[in-house]
Every structure is written in C-alpha cells, then in structure tokens.
Structure 1
Amino acid sequence: MPDLEDMTPGQVLADANVADFIGSMGLAIARAQTALDENSVSQIADFAAPREGLNGRSLFDLGLSPAFYHYQHADLSVSLQLQLRVERTFGLDIGANFNLNDASTSNNSDNSTETSSESGSSTRTSHRQAQINVNVTTNGALVVNGNNFQLTGASPLARIENLADQLRSGNDVDRALVMPSVTAVNPTCVPPSPDVVTSPNAVTFLNQAMSNEALIRITRLPAGANEDYTLKTGTTASVARQADITAQAASTATAINALGYQAVAWGAGTTLETCHFDFDKALIDQTTPAEARTNRQKLSRVARILIATGLHVEIEGYTDRSGPADYNVRLGGRRSNAVMMELRNMGVPAGQVREKLPSTGETTWANEPPPERNQAHRIARIRLVDTSDRFVFVEGDSSHAINVTQISPDMRSAPTGPDNGFIYVGRASAGGSDLTDQGRKIVIKGTDFTLNGSANGPHAQHSSEAYAANLARDVNANASVGVRAWATGNVCNLANNGDRFELILVTSQSREISMSGTDDVTVTTQFSRSSSRTVERSDTGNRTVAVGASVGLRFGRQYETNITGNSAITARLVSIPAPPEFLEQIKEFLSE
C-alpha cells in the first residue's frame, strides 16, 4: 500500500471498498427472510396443539393457520464523506559560541645603522642599479664619488663604450649596459643598389666577400626510388628514397658530403648561427673568442638566405652567470635585439625575424660547473622557425664549386613551391665592388652624401667597411644636417642630435655612491642606499580559545483522516396465507 500522504481521494475510496458495505447489507436482508420463514414453521406445533380453553380443540380446528412473511422489496443506500489531511514540519537550529581570552605582552626594539659591527645584527648586501642618459653629441663627463670620467672617442658609440669600460674598471661599478635610444632618420639611396640597404637608422653596405653556398629545400619524398641533385656539370648526388623527409634530408647531406662539399641538414629549431659577445657587452663586433668567421660574416650569410627564401628565424640572447639575474635578463635581451637589428639593417624584412623574450639570461646554465664568467655562455642563437620542411645547407670551396647556372633541380623562382630543389645559391665573391657608379649617393634630410669607396684606415678601397666609415665621417662633418653617425663594420649608424644612449649601472658595493653629470650627461636614477638592521623582539602571553557549536534538526509528519457516512435499508414486509396444500397436509398429519 502506498504512503497515505501520496494517495489521492479516489485511491482512498477504492481501498474503502464500498461494494463490501452494500453486499453485507443485502446478506442481512437474506438472513432476516430466513429467520421469518423459520419462525412461521416453528409456530405450526402451537397451532396444532389442543387447548383446554377451546374444549380440546386446536387453532387449526378453529380455522387459524400460522402467517408467512416475505420481503416484497428492499432499497439499500450507502453514503460516505472522506476528509484527508497530511501535515509536515521541518526545523533546523544552529548555535555557535566563541570565547577568546588573551593575556600577552610584547617588547620590540629596532635599531638601524650603516654598519654591521653590532652583536646580533644582520647585514644584507644586494646589487643596486642606477641609470645615466648620455646625449649622442656630448663630450661631457660623469662624476662618481668625486672621480671624473670624461667621455672620449671619435663617435657617439665609442664615447659611451669608453665610459662604460672606465666605470667597470673602477671600484664602484660592477656592470654597465649600453642601450641606444634613437629616433628614425630614414636615409635613402639614389639610385638604388642591391648592395646598399637603408633602414630607419642605418645604411648597410653588402659588397662583401661571399662563399660558394647553396640551400636545398626538401618538402616531400621523391616520386621514384632516387632523387638527384646536381651542383655543377659532372657532379651529382643521387639520394635513395627514405622513410620520411627528415631522413631524406639527412641522407641528402651525407651524399653531398661524400662529394667533398660541406653539407648539413636543417629543420625547425635548428640553430643556423651562434654569435658571441664580449663580457657585459651587446656589440656585434666582438673581440673574443677568435673565430674563423666574425659575427658580421655569420649574419651576412643568414641575411642572404632569409632574403632569398622568405624563411623565418627567432633569436634568443644569453649571458654568463656573473652579475644579478634581473640584469642578465636585460643583457640577454639586448644581445638578441642587437642581432635582430643587424639582420634588419642587412635588408631582412621585419616579419621574418623576431626575438624570444624575455631572455632566459643566465638560467640556461644554472647547473653548469664554474667558472661563472664563461665566454661560451655570452651568445645569441639564431634558430629556424615556422616551417615543416627540411633543408640542406651546402658550402663549397675553390675545388668544389657550386655553379649557379648548372644546379638542378632549380627551384629558386618558387622557393615555397611543392617540389624539392635548390632555393638559394650564393656565388663566390671576393667583395669590394665599386658602388660609386651613376653618382650614387645617400640622402639624409634633404642633404646628399656621395658614396666614397676610398681606403679608410685599415679598410681597403671599395670594401663595405670603407664605404660605411667614409659616410659616417662625412655626416659628422656636416653639422647643419643635425645627425650624428658612427660606423660599425659594414654599417653606418645614424641618430638625431637629440637622441641618447642609456647606461644601466650595477654595483654590489654597500657604501654610498653619489653621481653627477656635465654637458648632457644626466643621472636619471641614483644608486639607492643600503643599511644593516638590528631587530629584537620578545613575546609572552597566554591565549585561550574556546569554540562551541550545536546543530538541531526536526522533522515531523502528521496524518488526519475523517470518514463519515450512513447506510439505510428500506424494506417492505408482507404477510401471505399458508398455501392450501400446506394446510391439507397438516390436517392429514393431525388426523392420523
């Protein structure tokens, strides 16, 4: 049976079984009829018995007979009134109390001093930074703790670098990072030349010596069992089909190396070149370590490949583990930026070269053994990115030439097409071509500077370095143009007179260092003061915490059911005389 609270009135009436009530009432009438019949029959003996008052005669003798009664009809009726009520109650009681008793005392003393000689004191020494702004036109000085550091040098870069070197060699400054802050000059070359590239703040001369080099792109597996690469007539590398293009590129490099060339396979993530830097510097022209190829020669090769193929690279700068970590992050970023700007100065579109920032600084070498000042860690790496193809870089020499007119398959006209083949070939050149034809000139703010390829100091006639040095000299000689210039290798750098260099200084000394500048040498941030501190503290006390909580839950259900009603039987009872046959039979029985 379902729960009463879930039942409907119809279900309750069905369970009440009204039919049983009516059936019981009908049976009661039947039982009453039986009792009447039995009563009539039981009277026969009384009617047949002689009676003294009747002179020994019976009621039958007098013509009387027992009466028989019969229910002629009966009306049965039942009525019910049902009332059902279910009542539910729910209650939740929550109580909480909190008591805190705190009896304590505290005694503090704090003594700040400039030394660490007191008993119980602690001294914390950290690296502190300062910033100096130096105008590109100034020959002023920086005064540090009364010591005068004069800016000297033939160019703005030489002066700021000399100042940084002087500061590092003293007793107050540990590190000095040079960061240019220049606005666009926008020079132009008239008439244009593929060997003269202008950018917002530089003119770069590319008439440099070039090795015999080529780049093969492998974008798919060969259609047949082999694929041939011809470097010159009579010199062909036949490469068998491999399982994938990575193995295909490696097998191609191996086959070309077997012919006497220098070949290496490339893919996304491959380091194309690594540039080294001097300690605490971000200059492309490094002095150590001594290498067969300079940074500029490495970058020149990368630039030629990127311009010809449209490939993308990412640059990340690193530092050694000397100096504070946050400073090294900035130095690493400055080195990657120097490489990126150099590639752009060489004509690489900005969209093909990017920096990985922030620099990891020194953290790449965190688990390396000493020494901390490791030249091998002062680098910037140029990595190939954003490609799923494989490449093979090939370099020849005088005995193993790569003939630009005989290579096969030649895909230079479609370096991003669907087929494998050579997508770049560099013709060997000694450099030093004459760029002065057609009266070629550089125009800066409406002023013409005719190109001059004459020898300049150690730079040979018509060398890219000679053109850059001569242009810088001529720009600086013309004060009316309002621009300062300095040459770095094959690049003539340009800055407006109001531009500046920022010099970030770092010291580990705890003593006070005061600085001031003269003639457009501005100290924008002084070294902050440091101190040692003695702190004593004692606490006594008694604390008592009491927490109480109570939760009460009440739930109840109350059912109330009222059923009222009545039943009625309306019956008509009639008397009928005994049947004649019955009376005759009785008389015969009595006469015997």
Structure 2
Amino acid sequence: MPKAGKLLADLNVADFIGDMALAVADAQTKLDQNSVDQSLRLGQTVLPGMTQNLLSLGLQPAFYHFQYADLEMHLNIYYSTAIDLGVNFNLDRENESSNYDLQTEAVSGTATITVQDGQGLPPTGKVALTANSGGQLTVGSTTYALYPSGSPAPATGEPVELGASLWQSAQEGLLVALRNNSVWTNQATGDLQGVHMQWVTVSGITASTNRPDLYACDKALITVRTAPTGAPGDNLVIATLDSVSPPPSLELPAGSGSPHTSAEATVAGALAEIGAAVDPGFVVVTGGECNRALYFATNEDEPPRGHGTDTRPLVTLDAVAALLAAYPAARVALDGWADERSTPAYNQVLSTRRAESMKRALVSRGVTASRIDATGRGETTRFSTTDLDANRRVAITFTGVPDVLVARTSHPTAAWTGAPSGRQARIVPRTVSPGASPPTPVVTFRGKPYTEGTDFVVGATAEVTAENLANAIRAANANTTYGAFNRGDRIYLHGPGDYALYTLFARTPTAPTLSAAGSVRVAEPFGNGRPPASPQARDTLVIESVQLVAVAAGTTPQANEFALGVTAAETAQNLSDAINAGATAGSLPAGLRAQAAGNTVTLTGPSGTMLGTSNRNAFLLSGPRIGGRSSVSRKESSGRELRALNVDAHLSVKHELNVSGSSTIKARLVAVPAPPQFLQAIGDYLERWYP
C-alpha cells in the first residue's frame, strides 16, 4: 500500500478525539482557576480613600465556558490494485514509475438572516365592563372612577359618568375616557397607544323577522338591508361594455329615448363618464380594480363612513355584493389600511380588523365567506401624505369580473342603444325581491313584535332605520338588562351577562399596571407583547470574529454598525448594506456578499463562516455558519517492470487510492455571568480571612 494509504490506515481517530477532549478540559480548568484568582484579587483590592473592595462595588470576574467542541470528518475512500503478468523473449532493463496528484476545491455557501417584526407587538391587556353601575379601573398611572349619572363625582381618579344604558356607558363613557389617555389625543403622555372595544354576547338572545329581504337576523345582530321600498336608489344597474365602437349610449329606462352617452376613447373612461351621469356614487371596476373604497373614523373598524366622493359606503357594499351575485365564479379581495399615527404593529392589528369587519358586512348581504379574501396591510401613506382620512380605508379588488359599471337607479329596466354583442345592461334590486303581496315588515325580539311604520319609523337610509329600530327596542326594555344599539346599518342586541370587552394596547414594551373593581373586571392581564422579537439598539450580529452592532433609527452608523429601521424590511436592508461595506473594507471575510429581499438577508460567502447574534428572537439565523464545504482529493499510482536476458518477464502492479471529504474542528468559548452562589462564597471567605 502506498505511503498515504498507510498513514490513513494507521490514523487512530479515537485517540485524536480523546486528546482533543482532554485538551479542552485542561483549558477549562485553567480558565476556571483564573476566574477564581480574579475574584480573590477583586475582593482583596481596595482603592485609596475607599473602604469597599472592588468585588463589593459590583465588579465581577468573567467566567468562560466551552459551549461545545466538535470534530467532524467526512471521508470518501476508494482503493484498488491491478496486477499484469507476462513473459516474452527479450532483453531489456528494469523500469519503475510513480504518480501523485492532490486537488483542493473551495466551495461557497449561503445562509439567511431573517429580521422579525421590526417593531414587535405592544403588550395587550383586556378589561370588561359587565354592568351599568359604579366601578374602578387603574391603568398605569391613571385611575378611572365610574359613577351613576346624577350622583356626585368621585373625589379621586378620572371621573367617568355612566349613561342610561350599559352600551352608552361602554361606548360614550369609558371608551372615550380611555382614548383621551391614548395616542389619539395626547402624544406626550398617557399609558396607552390604542383601545379597541367589542360587544360580547353570551346570553343567547336573538331576533326574527317576516321580511328577510329587508331585515337580516343573525344571532344577536339585525342588519337593515335597504332603504324604504320605492325610495330613489333601491335598484342597481349593472352594465358591461366590450368596446367604444360605436360610442356607447345607456338608456334608463330602456326605450325612453333619453340615453346617457359617452365619446371617451377607452372602455374605462366611457363607463366612468356614464356612471357619473347616472349616480354620483357610481362604482366602476376596470382590470379588477374598484374606483371606490370604504373609509373609517380614527381607530374604528365599523361602520364605514363617507369620504370625498365615497359618500354612500353601504351602497358600495351593496354594489360589491350584487357583482359577486352576478358573477358566481368571481372573488373579491379586501385590503385594510391604517394611517401611520400609531406603531406599525398596532396598525397591523387595526387594518386587519377593518378588512374582517367589511367581510362580515358582505356575508350579511348574502356573499359566501369563502369568496372573500380579507387582509390587513398595516399603516400607509400610499394614498395620501397629507390626508389621514384617506389612509384609513379598505381597498376593493376583484378577480373574475369584467370591466363593469354599477350605479344606483330607481328605474326598472336599462339597455345599451345600438348595442353590439358583448354589451349588457340589467337592473337588479339591492335586496331580495319581496313576494307579490308583501306583508308589513315586523321584527320580533323577546316575543314582542316591532312593526315598521307603527313601532318604529323607516328612515331615508338603512342607517337611520337601524337607529330608529334600536331606539324602539331600548324604549320597550327600559330599566331592564335587555337593550339594543346600532352601528351603521347593524343593530346589536344584548341581554343578561353580555358585556363590553376592551383591548388595551400599551404604549411601551414594559406593560403598565392593570387592576379593576366593581362593574369593571380584568379579563386578561397585560401580556402577549413580543418586544424581544423587535431588534433593539446594541443588538449584535457576529460574522466570524467581527460584530455588527445595531444603532437606533436616525443615528448615522459607523464602520461595522447598521441602523434600525421602522420596518423589518428597512432593518434588513441596512444590515445588508453594512455587511457588504465590511466585506469591501476587509473587516469581514473576502468574498462575503449580502442581499436583502423583504425582511430576509441572504449571505453568500466562504463555507463554514461562523454566524451568531445576541438577539435570536429578533434575528433568525438559518444556521450557526454559512453552509457548503471544501473538499480535498488525493490520487496515487505506481508501476514496476522487470526484464532479463532472453526471457522477458514483466510484472506490473498498480495501486490507486482516492480520498475526498472534509473535516472541521470547532470549539466555541462564551462568557457567562458568575453564579450568585459563588460570589456569596467568595464574600464569606474574604470576610472570614480578611476582616
């Protein structure tokens, strides 16, 4: 066997590993002894003019610990011998030859660093207002004292006067008081950055109606589906246009001879021009994009409210539902947004609530939930950099819907004049059509019928009708535990055990104190915040022996520093730039490159490059080192030929050995704090022998 093969065969890997382990253990012993010596020296050292030693002043020795020591060997061995023997009659001399080849290949690898959140969710807590009576709530430094209307205000705490009903106390009393201590009204002080209230129904009450085409009853919720029958705008015209040649002309009603025309050069332009002539609040979908959106008040997710030309948000919802009914294979995407006055994490939650709320509104209009995609997009200035109202919205996008116009109309028919194939105009009711002789609408709650026109008045809009019906239910159940309130076109019923639930979002990662008494109870203490998952100033990323240090947003980073961003993607980009700058300057391994995509940084560089971080919750590493490995290939061969006199006898022996693979030896040394028990023992020792 050739020499290299013999060396490999004689190698005792077990002895090598044992020697390595003993060497690490010996080094650990010396490190520990050194730390003990440091402790004694610190305890015996007193600075001039002082009476306390350095140990009692808080200086602690550094302890080091080998976190792990690994030996990795990956070998691929091939050995072969070939013998060739022959005899002939020749006279020649002896000949010997050999060959040796060594090849080394270095491989680059990849690793990823994923930045979490960028901000982290603020801690949240929940409190419940369970009865319309006195109570007390303390959040951080502020105490809220609830007291009945007409009674003297409490001497201590922030006074909160109760309303005539539990709903009024919850919505108009405590919620307003909490928001006055939030980011919305006071940027400088306060313990909260946001508050959200929802109504929780546990009583199991419900209502029913003889006119589901006008009133949708779902559990403890009544939705007024339309304005009064016969009022302008009860119908919708759905018109599709395949081309603008010949110029389109829409007649309402069909055959009236008073068409709405357009000479626009595009389908989208023609639909918009005709829609504006038919209805100021018209809806146009072109390329899947809807020209209308749904807007919201500050920190609210319902009901939608008017903004600009979007003055009838409930009619927009009716139009969306009508389109989905007209095109059964279509889908709609609802993308919620918030303005940027709170933290990105809170705005993400708020935008999701808005999208989900509008999804529920479409479901109440008969749309199957599986056809609706509701997504919160967080905060934005993409719609306006100056108008906050414009950024508090839910955007609407369709798939499977052609370019189409939807407008409110009181007419029963519609048609395109001179229409070629592909043009359609049809009238659909905003609600399910009633029977030939529809009965007077009645809504029943707790066995009492509320008759439209007698017990409650139908308003000019669905919102007004809902308010009138809610007032009638409250008046009939005065001084009892039952009641009703409306938000937009929806009426919420409540009974015994139902309560208002508040979600409180803390202003800082450190949650304020939370306590309650009386009619207010703590439903969930502050928790679920994830500030460790947010990159913090002074966090470090370690590449080989170089530390990249995070600095606060707005700070100019120096060499081997990167600035934190407002978002995870911005932080990732800053980190990527710092890595590339370090590789160019030579402080990081040559050939190292970084590229950011979203919140993920992809590293490419020498395989085996060590990676680490001081905040593993904020910076997720794909591994402790860059993947890939280097390989070494060895090849040996030899031959001998012997010839003598008249007899030619030759012997050829060929040995071939291929060894390829890689090996890695690594030992990581980390600093750990001195155990409190050890420091106490050192202190006792010094006190005994060095009083």
Q: What secondary structure sits across from 1:556 in the alignment?
A: strand
Distance 1:375 1:207, change over 3 A: closer
Query: Does 1:361 find its partner at 2:378?
Result: yes
Choose which of 235, 256, 259 in structure 2 pairs with 1:236.
259
Letter in 2 for 1:365: T
Query: Does 1:556 find its partner at 2:638?
Result: yes
Summarize the alignment of residues 106-125 of structure 1 with structure 2, pairs less than 5 Å apart.
Answer: none
Paired residues, number: 420
Q: What secondary structure sits across from 1:522 in the alignment?
A: strand
Q: Tell me by how many angstroms 1:529 deviates.
A: 13
- In structure 1, the residue matched to 2:123 is 129
Cα-to-partner distance string for 1:346-374 (whole Å, 9 max, x where unaligned): x23233763432x1211x338975x7x92
Q: What secondary structure sits across from 1:327 in the alignment?
A: helix
Normalization by structure 1: what TM-score?
Answer: 0.55
Asked whether the equivalents of residues 138 and 521 of structure 1 are also in contact (C-alpha less than 8 Å), the reply is no
Query: Does 1:174 find its partner at 2:193?
Result: yes
Q: What secondary structure sits across from 1:168 in the alignment?
A: helix
Cα-to-partner distance string for 1:192-222 (whole Å, 9 max, x where unaligned): 3421222233112234154376444437569
Letter in 2 for 1:160: A
Q: What secondary structure sits across from 1:492 in the alignment?
A: strand
Q: What secondary structure sits across from 2:378 in the alignment?
A: coil
Distance 1:110 1:523, change over 3 A: farther
- In structure 1, the residue matched to 2:415 is 407
Query: Does 1:91 find its partner at 2:5?
Result: yes
Cα-to-partner distance string for 1:148-201 (whole Å, 9 max, x where unaligned): 342733454433333122012233333211234446958454423421222233
- In structure 1, the residue matched to 2:369 is 351
Query: Does 1:424 find its partner at 2:416?
Result: no
Letter in 2 for 1:555: S
Query: Does 1:147 find its partner at 2:168?
Result: no
Structure 2 CA distance for aligned equivalents of residues 110 and 320 of structure 1:
52
Structure 2 CA distance for aligned equivalents of residues 313 and 349 of structure 1:
10
Q: What secondary structure sits across from 2:338 in the alignment?
A: coil
Normalization by structure 2: what TM-score?
Answer: 0.48
Asked whether the equivalents of residues 177 and 503 of structure 1 are also in contact (C-alpha less than 8 Å), the reply is yes
Q: Tell me by how many angstroms 1:450 deviates.
A: 2.9
Asked whether the equivalents of residues 179 and 501 of structure 1 are also in contact (C-alpha less than 8 Å), the reply is yes
Choose which of 374, 378, 388 in structure 1 pairs with 2:388.
374
Structure 1 CA distance for aligned equivalents of residues 455 and 56 of structure 2:
70
Asked whether the equivalents of residues 137 and 144 of structure 2 are also in contact (C-alpha less than 8 Å), the reply is yes
Asked whether the equivalents of residues 319 and 378 of structure 1 are also in contact (C-alpha less than 8 Å), the reply is yes
Q: Tell me by how many angstroms 1:387 deviates.
A: 1.3
Structure 2 CA distance for aligned equivalents of residues 529 and 130 of structure 1:
10
Cα-to-partner distance string for 1:261-297 (whole Å, 9 max, x where unaligned): 88664234423532322222223165x8687725445
Asked whether the equivalents of residues 137 and 156 of structure 1 are also in contact (C-alpha less than 8 Å), the reply is yes
Distance 1:514 1:214, change over 3 A: closer
Structure 2 CA distance for aligned equivalents of residues 260 and 459 of structure 1:
21
Letter in 1 for 2:465: S
RMSD, aligned CA: 5.5
Query: Does 1:325 find its partner at 2:325?
Result: no
Cα-to-partner distance string for 1:23-49 (whole Å, 9 max, x where unaligned): xxxxxxxxxxxxxxxxxxxxxxxxxxx
Choose which of 402, 405, 421 in structure 2 pairs with 1:389.
402
Distance 1:437 1:458, change over 3 A: closer
Query: Does 1:199 find its partner at 2:218?
Result: yes
Letter in 2 for 1:405: T
Structure 1 CA distance for aligned equivalents of residues 449 and 520 of structure 2:
28
Structure 1 CA distance for aligned equivalents of residues 56 and 288 of structure 2:
56
Distance 1:360 1:262, change over 3 A: closer
- In structure 1, the residue matched to 2:451 is 451
Letter in 1 for 2:381: W
Question: Quick check: which has more Rg, 1 or 2?
Answer: 1
Q: Tell me by how many angstroms 1:504 deviates.
A: 1.8
Cα-to-partner distance string for 1:438-495 (whole Å, 9 max, x where unaligned): 4643345x7343335458799689962354224532674596xx86532224322134
Cα-to-partner distance string for 1:407-440 (whole Å, 9 max, x where unaligned): 35899xxxxxx95311335699xxxx9xx98464
Q: What secondary structure sits across from 1:338 in the alignment?
A: helix
For structure 1, which runs of at least 5 residues remain unmatched after alignment? 1-86, 113-124, 397-401, 412-417, 536-548, 566-592
Distance 1:447 1:272, change over 3 A: farther
Q: Tell me by how many angstroms 1:331 deviates.
A: 1.0
Distance 1:250 1:299, change over 3 A: same
- In structure 2, the residue matched to 1:574 is none
Q: What secondary structure sits across from 2:377 in the alignment?
A: coil
- Larger RCO: Structure 1 or Structure 2 (Cα < 8 Å, ≥ 6 residues apart)? 1
Asked whether the equivalents of residues 281 and 312 of structure 2 are also in contact (C-alpha less than 8 Å), the reply is no
Structure 2 CA distance for aligned equivalents of residues 110 and 302 of structure 1:
73
Q: Tell me by how many angstroms 1:555 deviates.
A: 2.9
Cα-to-partner distance string for 1:313-347 (whole Å, 9 max, x where unaligned): 322221111222211111111122222223333x2
Distance 1:186 1:512, change over 3 A: closer
User: Which of 467-476 and 90-99 deviates more?
Assistant: 90-99
- In structure 2, the residue matched to 1:211 is 233
Asked whether the equivalents of residues 231 and 407 of structure 1 are also in contact (C-alpha less than 8 Å), the reply is yes
- In structure 1, the residue matched to 2:86 is none
Q: Tell me by how many angstroms 1:556 deviates.
A: 3.4
Structure 1 CA distance for aligned equivalents of residues 361 and 279 of structure 2:
33
Calculate percent identity across the aligned residue pairs.
14
